[in-house]
Structure 1
Amino acid sequence: MHPNFSQSSLLISLILFLLSHHFPCSLCLDDFHYSNCTSPLEFECGHELGNIEYPFWVYGHQAEYCGHPLFKLYCEGGEHAIIEIKSRKYKVLYINPESQILQIVTMDVLPKEHIVCPQSPLMDSTPFNYTPYVEMAAVTLTNCSIDDHPGAYHFSCTMNNRLHEAYLATNLSVAKELRSRCKYGVIISKFPVLLPELEGLLNGSSYDVEEVLREGFEVQWTADNAICKECVRSGGTCGYDTTSNKSCCLCRDKPYPNKCSSMYPSAFLFSSFLCWFF
């Protein structure tokens, strides 16, 4: 028998064998955890925030295992992208995934008229730290008006349904001096503002304290960065195991604790070959 005829017959027999057998095409499907989280979500709520990637996830649009539970985002009223930190709501103004910087503003200062008197954010024991572009100012609430004072900027705010005279002070000593001039005074000792915005008040280029407050402040986050980088290098996407409450690696075959199995890519290619026929 001619050798070429024998090889051709073998190839034809192999093809007929493959065509006559049904292989489970579930082999060629990615694990649903990986499929649900591998594509970044474009999130728009009042303004465009860009692609949302781990550790962030959007409630109502993504599964909770796509992100860290402390980085849940949701849209409130169709105009406020919200993150909650220690049970307090903050509007998300900007997310920079490369530098891992988040710009947020407390919901207290968003109303256009009679903003709620701001309270100090609670960032201790969270994955967020203030960036170098944040300056800690102080806010003094009084029951009397005070003449112009260097380093203090007047605005009005409400607390317990009462309108208060308030002053944004560049430091705590100025805030204490303002309080001493009135019979009543409350000091909010640490309130973060963006340094460029505060400098605008100091040099006279900005006069609207409310707008300075509405620019919010920046924090930088950390969330298992080393594990996430190892996961991505192995071909997976970062996720969160809600059972063990730990970060994990979502891979094409199944989730792993740290990185994808090196054995899976060849198996995936073989299953893809089979599914190409069927």
Structure 2
Amino acid sequence: MHPKFSQSSLLFSLILFLLSHHFPCSLCLDDFHHSNCTSLFEFECRHDLGKIEYPFWVYGHQPEYCGHPLFKLYCEVEHAIIEIKSRKYKVLSINPKSQILRIVTMEVLPREHIVCPQSPLMDSTPFNYTTHVEMVAFTLTYDCSSIGDHPGAYDFSCTMNDSLHQAYLARNLSVATELQSRCEYSAIIHEFPVLVLELEGLVNGSSDDVEEVLREGFEVQWTADNAICKECVGSGGTCGYNTTSNKSCCLCRDKPYPNKCSSMYPSSPLLLFSSSIPIVFISSLCSLCWFFC
């Protein structure tokens, strides 16, 4: 048998096979929603936060449908920022497995004097404080004589309206109220989250720096359509967000779906192609044998 004749017959058989079989379009080209969000973005803004996964997304680097709108991250003056109820927080760490985010208010970032604390607002948000957080109170004094030492209170200085004030971190509201009664002008910040571990260091004397306790931030745990995302990923898709319906969705190889990918489209086209390769060769060989017989 002539080599050139054999090769041309084989090629002809392959072409006949491919023309006589229909393959889903997703096997040739992924839907752009899916391909744009499948590759996790490595977010580095002064320090590495690791790979960003849904519900988070990075503004300027990923399309907005890759994440939930309340979980938008961006880099500002070398700080990774998330906004919660219009307030900016620096992101210190993200733990996707435990779904815990550690953040710190921008007011207490390192500077000569920190800005006096304001209570974070987490109500009606997808964030809840973790069990590693304890709520403390602050008493801010104005033009007041020295209060002196008080058990359960730790003094520090902070600025408000460009004025420097003496302030006290109080373990509970009753201590903060007592400190307030000793001064003619004062204000109380009723609830402010700090890490239990950092607060214990302040109490047992291993740390006397209130500013450092504040700069370590606090932890919140998030929830964002976990059941839908689990079903989506199990079907071979990646979780995304429908900005028209304002709901989570499943980004699949052929198109986005509300909850999970269609069973008509395999999660990996390579598997289908690899399983089809023997069929191609068998079909070609059979065609050649029939031709020569």
TM-score using structure 2 length: 0.85
- Tell me the distance in 2 between the aligned counterparts of 1:266 and 1:97: 23
What percent of counterpart residues are identical?
78
Q: What is the match of residue 56 of structure 2? A: 56
1:46 Cα deviation after fit = 1.4
- Tell me the distance in 1 between the aligned counterparts of 2:252 and 2:267: 14
Q: What is the match of residue 28 of structure 1? A: 28
Q: What is the match of residue 210 of structure 1? A: 211
User: 1:99-248 counterparts in 2 under 5 A?
Assistant: 99-143=98-142, 144=144, 145-248=146-249
Taking a change above 3 Å as real, the CA distance of residues 265 and 156 of structure 1, as seen in their structure-2 partners, is: same
**What secondary structure, in the 3-state scheme, does the structure 2 residue paired with 1:191 have?**
strand
Q: What is the match of residue 257 of structure 1? A: 258
**What secondary structure, in the 3-state scheme, does the structure 2 residue paired with 1:123 have?**
coil
CA contact (8 A) 2:93 2:101 kept: yes
1:112 Cα deviation after fit = 2.0
CA contact (8 A) 1:28 1:272 kept: no
Taking a change above 3 Å as real, the CA distance of residues 123 and 260 of structure 1, as seen in their structure-2 partners, is: same
Taking a change above 3 Å as real, the CA distance of residues 45 and 270 of structure 1, as seen in their structure-2 partners, is: closer
Unaligned regions of 5+ residues in structure 2, if any? 1-6, 281-293
Q: What is the match of residue 5 of structure 1? A: none
CA contact (8 A) 1:28 1:271 kept: no
- Tell me the distance in 2 between the aligned counterparts of 1:72 and 1:95: 13
Taking a change above 3 Å as real, the CA distance of residues 109 and 269 of structure 1, as seen in their structure-2 partners, is: closer
Q: Which amino acid aligns with 1:99?
A: S
User: 1:62-77 counterparts in 2 under 5 A?
Assistant: 62-77=62-77
- Tell me the distance in 1 between the aligned counterparts of 2:18 and 2:235: 34
- Tell me the distance in 2 between the aligned counterparts of 1:203 and 1:271: 63
Q: Which amino acid aligns with 1:174?
A: V
- Tell me the distance in 1 between the aligned counterparts of 2:19 and 2:76: 55
CA contact (8 A) 2:36 2:62 kept: yes
Deviates more, 1:68-77 or 1:108-117: 108-117
- Tell me the distance in 1 between the aligned counterparts of 2:97 and 2:115: 33
Q: How many pairs align?
A: 266
1:269 Cα deviation after fit = 6.0
**What secondary structure, in the 3-state scheme, does the structure 2 residue paired with 1:211 have?**
helix
Larger radius of gyration: 2
CA contact (8 A) 2:26 2:253 kept: no
